[in-house]
Chains A and B, each alone.
Chain A
Amino acid sequence: MSMPQEPAIKSYFFGKGYRDLWDTIKDSWQRNLKSAGNLSSKADGADSFPLVWWYSAAVSVVVFGTAVFLIASVAHIVVLAIFFTLIYLAFSFVYLAERIFLAIRGFSAVCPECHSRNPLPHYFCSSCGEVHQRLIPSSYGILRRICQCGQRLPSTFFLKRGELSSKCPDCGVLLSREHTETKKLFIPIVGGPAVGKSSYLLSAVRGLVEEVAPSLGVEASFLKDMEAEDFQHLCEGLDKGRPPEKTQDRLPRAFNLKLTGGLTPRLIYLYDPAGEAYAATGEMLLHKYQEYFSGMIFLIDPFALPMVRQEFEDRIETCLGALKPSDLSVEDTLSRLLISLEESFGLSKTGRIRAPLAVVVNKVDAFDLEGQITRAVPTGEITQDTQAWNQQNQAIQEWLWKWDAGGLVHQIETRFSTVRYFVCSALGHMPDPSAGAFAPQGVLEPLLWILNQADGSFFKQRG
């Protein structure tokens, strides 16, 4: 366990104890020599008996004193070694217990700015503000350590270390306790430009806040006030039939939804990478969440499929502005995603991604597309009936084959090990202020399926 130099006082038995040992041995030896010298100097000029007496005393100190000095030095070393071993074992045990506990509960530190995940943030001393890079049970202290300023700091999760201020080790942004000590679920919503990711994200988050959280008996809140304000503003827009504004940020725009209440606190990162970023593979490298996503929602705009576009050519022309069909082919979007995962995150060319993938055909409200796809599972119902889901999977796969997207289905089935197909309308109807509030359809099912796959206890408590 290599440790950086920390602004804290090392355990006596891991640092100063050895300097003290050496100093004590040197000092003790010098004192013995000095004692023997003093005794022999008393013999100078003495008569025969005192002379023998003082010289014998000096010799005794040299001979027997050296033997005792050696025994005392060895005993000193043994005591230090025993304490060193006991402390090493103690802090290793506490550290391992903490790691196991955090791993079981799914806790890790994830930066909301640079999206990097680290096992441990950098903590600030609550008194002097010094940065402790590895505030863990260590040679600086088993349960607590003493900062250079003298302040005692908890060095383990079990003693509420998370109450200290902390920052991201990579970009330095300040982290809250929710970023470090909650179970996290990362769900990217992937798709090409104009596929409806922003609308889906907003409708899904709204569903979580207004439907799922109350049914779980938990409280849903946003980590940042600004997120809550954005959410409120966008929801008001949806209620007036105004779609979310087009995503412009290149980095993932995430909603950090915190669920607190009768279960282990959870942080759900639902994020919408700008569609334009998927037009260039290189830009996808920015999305570090892809290293550790819990599941992925892959949105398909059916009107990006050439055959569908051809079929509805005349009708599309009349509502092009409202429908906004995506320009990027669905196969290309998926290929770029896979290339990014292969190049940056160690996925082999033939490897399968184990995280669940929800393939969601969006915009099915348009031209009664939904009617063309037999749905075995009614919208709004979550069921454990595998047969019903298999029927839906088959129906949507057949529909995609019919529209010449069989290659996409094949690619999905060969590269992802857990796949389920869904249809939805993220807005419920095409943007039209006169049509009133949007009423999303089928948005929650893919999300809840992924949450159930990634975190079964979440779903179980829903009943």
Chain B
Amino acid sequence: MADDDLGGCIGAMFLLALGILALMAVISVGSLFGAGVALKNYAEALQKNVRPERGRS
């Protein structure tokens, strides 16, 4: 009986760790994705808006 409880507990802990790892992986991928999109957006905004002033020649 005690062995069954221990096995179940380890199994639950393993599943939990697996879940956390999966969540962390998703969050990592999500953060990279979100940061990448934001960086791309900022770079495009810079490209569009930053221009040196020129005289009328």
**A222-B9 Cα distance, complex, nearest whole Å:** 108
Contact B56 A150 (CB under 8 A): yes
Residues of A within 8 A of B56 (CB): 148-150
B54 → A minimal CB distance (Å): 7
Partner of A9 from the list B38, B42, B54 (CB cut-off 8 Å) is B54
- Contact-residue bracket for chain B: 20 to 34
Interface residue? B6 (CB, 8 A):
no
A257 to chain B, nearest CB (A): 41
What chain B residues lie within 8 Å of A69 (beta carbons)? 38, 41-42
Please tell me the number of chain A residues within 8 Å of chain B, measured between CB atoms: 35
Question: Do residues A60 and B55 form an inter-chain contact, with CB atoms below 8 A?
Answer: no
Is A410 close to B, CB under 8 A? no
> Whose C-beta in chain B lies nearest to the C-beta of A57?
B33
Q: Is chain B's interface secondary structure helix, strand, loop, or mixed overall?
A: helix
Distance to closest chain B CB from A38 (angstroms)? 10
Asked whether B26 is an interface residue with its Cβ less than 8 Å from the other chain, the reply is yes
- Cβ-based interface call for B22 (8 A): no
Asked whether A20 and B57 contact (CB < 8 A) given A57-B30, A69-B38, A72-B39, the answer is no
With A66-B38, A72-B39 known to touch, is A31 a contact of B57 (CB < 8 Å)? no
Q: State the B residues within 8 Å of A (CB).
A: 26, 30-35, 37-39, 41-42, 44-46, 48-57
Q: Measuring CB to CB, which residues of chain A are less than 8 angstroms from any residue of chain B? A: 9-10, 12, 15-16, 20, 23-25, 27-28, 31-32, 35, 56-57, 59-69, 72, 76, 146-151
Other 9 A-B pairs with CB < 8 A, given A32-B38, A64-B31, A68-B35: A24-B48, A27-B48, A31-B44, A57-B33, A66-B38, A149-B55, A149-B57, A150-B54, A150-B55
What 4 A-B pairs are tightest by C-beta distance, nearest first? Answer: A64-B34, A65-B38, A150-B57, A60-B30
